[in-house]
Amino acid sequence: MGNLAFYVFIAVLVVGFLSSAIRILREYERGVVFTLGRFTRIAGPGFIIIIPVIQQMVRTDLRTTVEDVPTQDVISRDNVSVRVNAVIYSRIVDPGKAILNVENYAEATSQLAQTTLRSVLGKHELDEMLAERDKLNADIQEILDSQTDAWGIKVANVEIKHVDIDESMIRAIAKQAEAERFRRAKIINAEGEQQAAEKLVEAGRILAGDPRAMQLRYFSALHDIAGEKTNTIVFPLPMDLMDTIRRRD
């Protein structure tokens, strides 16, 4: 009976040892192994053996994570107050740096994204925030990626989701847009008048240079007048014809 209890005890110890020593890491997982507190290696994926008590392993996930950046109050370069939020896509490319160089890489990346978002957008005017969002996304992504490289984090993409503006500012923008449309309409009308005047001057020069062209213009005018329902037709006589009649008299 005593031998059986001893064997059961040994079996329990072996099972406990194996359960604490054996690790199985999935394809997207890596283990950061420490031996007596010192960084030893990056393990995985697959079947991993860890010496209990002497070695410890910290799991890391290499898949891309999606994290919302909380809404930030931003003052644009033209002193407009807006509320902006974004989303960042990041993943671990160096598990050793992610565990050794920063306490909580996810929280650190989130805090850095918030400060970078305010810093970058504060250097631009409201029109640029609304019209050049792709460029701003690229600028923020580049800054974050360079700063998180020391943590073994790759920021793959940053997307600004919403730029919320105060109601009073929306009304001001609408008035500005209406004034801009009115200004453009007046410019287009003035340009049309200018072009028409230039064409009239050019036509006058052509008619003045050749009397026959003037006569043809008279005939064309008579044709247009004849088509109208009127009782009076004014017939313009060429000046050279009047001079001929006076000389005969």
Residues 53 and 77 in one domain: no
Residues 193 and 175 in one domain: yes
Q: Is the pTM of this model over 0.75?
A: no
Q: Which of 101, 130, 165 is the last residue of a domain?
A: 165
pLDDT digits (tens, 9 = 90+) for 169-210: 666 666 777 777 778 888 888 888 888 777 777 766 766 666
Residues 131 and 154 in one domain: yes
Neighbours of 99 (CB within 10 A): 22
Which letter, b or e, does each residue of 201-218 get, where b requires 16 or more Cβ atoms within 10 Å of its Cβ?
A: eeeeeeeeeeeeebeeee
Full domain range(s) for residue 187: 171-248
Helices (H), 69-166: 95-100, 105-121, 126-131, 133-148
The count of domains in the chain is: 3
Q: Which amino acid is at 56?
A: Q
Residues 104 and 161 in one domain: yes
Gap between the Cα atoms of 238 and 45, Å rounded: 103
Q: Which of 115, 141, 165 is the last residue of a domain?
A: 165
CA dihedral 64, 65, 66, 67 (to 10 degrees): -150
pLDDT digits (tens, 9 = 90+) for 6-47: 666 677 766 666 677 888 899 999 999 999 989 999 998 888
Residues 70 and 154 in one domain: yes
Q: Which of 117, 145, 165 is the last residue of a domain?
A: 165
Residues 113 and 160 in one domain: yes
